[in-house]
Amino acid sequence: MRKMLEQRSFLVLLGTITLLFALLLRPFWSAIFWATAIAILFSPLQRYLLPRLGQRRNLTALLTLLICSVMVVLPVLALLSAFIQEGANLYSMIQSQEIRPGQFIDRIVSAIPFLPGLMERTGVDTDSIRSYLSSSAVSMSELLAQQALSVGRNTLNFTVKLTLMLYLTFFLLRDGEHLASLMKTAVPLSETRRSLLFNKFVEVTRATIKGNLLVALVQGALGGLIFWILDIPGPVLWTVVMAFLSLIPAVGAALVWVPASIYLYASGDWLSASILVAYGALIIGLADNVLRPILVGRDTKLPDYIVLFSTMGGIALIGINGFVIGPLIAAVFLAFWNIFITDFNTDPVA
């Protein structure tokens, strides 16, 4: 009886102190998450370099971190800086009325002869749409400008979190296998189940980051390129917007290039609009349809619809980090149910 009481008391204290420690680290969850994700993503490179550098773990982890910084961190920072600058410029142009979002509706209505009568018969108020579009554009541009100002004010906070992320990544690269072994030992499951769950965690994290980010970067770059060729304002801004939207499977960059092509048609630039539609459907769309199943669905062994809903749900619940955490939760959910069906449900299915 005393032993059982001791065990229960210890488990309660263990849970309490673990929760307190998690709350203590709450301000740095994002840095910890991305340090873990980057360490998982670059661990094959670290294992490749380790024997070639004489088993010197510190040097191997440092070199891997430098390669990661050059390949990922610095380009993302440069793109983020350009995005903020172009967002601020867009806000300035809307405020000075160099860009008038309400003209978007006017040009479409004037370009399609039967549209005014159709809108009148169906009770669509053009003035309300024009007002809504203008206010939305102003609000969005104000948000971009505020984010730019916020980044400027919080440069120290951002720098601290970035430094902590890189610092933790170094130790996870160096000691990751040992830490993973300790975590496996701590989980009260059989070796087979522990291996299944941990392997699924690593597999999905690596595939989701590698796949989704690569698809997003490719689609954003392709979209930005055609916007630059067609001389559409703010190509870098739209590159980042399309890259972000490309994290959402099946929808993605079309939320940008489709309205842009409609606007070009309404403006009378039929050639540019047709080029944009063909390019968006064939080139940008093909990148999503071909690369995503190969890099995400195949590696995670998740159906496309599970990837779609888990990604969108993750982003809706926890923001940008959700594009990794959403599919990860879905994959672990399916792994747990697979264990349950295989090991616990001994009755034959009718």
Domain boundaries, the chain: 27-175, 186-342
Please state, in angstroms and as integers, the Cα–Cα distance from residue 246 to each residue in 106, 211, 218, 221, 233, following that order. 29, 11, 9, 11, 20
Residues in the chain: 350
Distance (Å, whole) CA 140 – CA 158: 23
**313, two tokens:** 């749900």
* Per-residue pLDDT reduced to its tens digit, 81-137: 776 676 667 666 666 666 665 556 666 656 555 555 555 556 555 556 556 555 655
Distance (Å, whole) CA 83 – CA 281: 25
Distance (Å, whole) CA 322 – CA 148: 23
* Per-residue pLDDT reduced to its tens digit, 209-237: 777 777 778 888 888 888 888 888 777 77
DSSP codes, 242-289:
HHHHTTSTTTTTHHHHHHHHHHHHHTT-HHHHHHHHHHIIIIIHHHHH
> Taking residues 251-266, what's their average pLDDT?
79
Mean residue pLDDT of the chain comes to: 75
